[in-house]
Amino acid sequence: MDLAVPELDALRRTQGEALAARRWTHLDALEAESVHILREVAAECDRVALLFSGGKDSAVVLRLAEKAFFPEPMRFTLLHVDTEHNFPEVIAFRDRIARERKLNLVVRSVGDSIRAGRVRLRTPDEPRNPHQSVTLLDAIRELGFDACIGGARRDEEKARAKERVFSFRDAFGQWDPKNQRPELWSLYNGRVHPGENIRVFPLSNWTELDVWQYILREGIELPELYFAHEREIVRRGNALVPVTPLTPPRPGETVERATVRFRTVGDITCTAPVASDARTLEDIVRETEQTRVSERGATRLDDQANEAAMELRKREGYF
């Protein structure tokens, strides 16, 4: 086809603009890597659970899993280990997403483990988060899962930075960071003996900022707790502790009303909000670009007990 020079220049400009609009971004690279990981675990493992709490990371993993197998339905069972101390808004969101998308959601409760004598609390108000390991391992044995997919990221905490993408757990559900499989050239080994299992982390190489940018790009729905809102809090050390029936103010503490949001949503007894005016996804992305403290370091009271708190829990079978 012969074109005059002005027409040819216009065609080149149009093609160039189209290519620029479709340029490959770091989010595309992260998405492609995660989709590859999810397809690998589906190919190598027989019974796979996707750990879905209703939080932002599990919502992103769910979106990636739906993309990995589209137009076929997402093939993993959703599993949530509920402490019975979760925020009601998050539980309602979890149930609604599973119902609207016709997903198979299985819930197992730390409360049931306590009532069955499988978990013993030292005090009635002790945080239940560390005891999720027992309930999770019981669920894995009961339902025969050989792999569990989680939303953990290496930027969250030092112990998670040691984790492989396919993290091997022995017959007791325990994690030995010195006994993990090499993953050269993104080749993953999901083979396990009966009783063993693999924890799979497709967001390993993502950061909190990547997660929020992806949520913004994809329009992923989240619980309202992630956005700025007013609530009663008390200042306890460097943390803002929400005032709830499970976390009442201590003698001498002053209850304040503040504008806050949650960077992570977990057990009420060990999850603190941060002061924030970020009411939209765009606001949260801008805020996250400027923060210098990881979300767990800023908001998770259970991780602040000691520097090895997370690693000790993971060795016992934690996510």
CA separation for the pair 131, 11 (Å, rounded): 63
Identify the pLDDT of residue 1.
Answer: 46
pLDDT digits (tens, 9 = 90+) for 125-159: 788 888 898 999 999 999 999 999 999 898 887 77
**Is residue 313's pLDDT more than 70?**
no
**The pTM is what?**
0.86
Domain with CATH 3.40.50.620 in the chain: 26-209+309-315
Which pair of tokens denotes residue 129?
């988060």
DSSP state of 59: H
Identify the pLDDT of residue 123.
Answer: 84
**Is residue 3's pLDDT more than 80?**
no
CB atoms within 10 A of CB 22: 9
**Is residue 304's pLDDT more than 60?**
no
pLDDT digits (tens, 9 = 90+) for 191-213: 888 888 999 999 999 999 999 99
* Fold (CATH) for 26-209+309-315: Rossmann fold (3.40.50)
CA separation for the pair 211, 184 (Å, rounded): 25
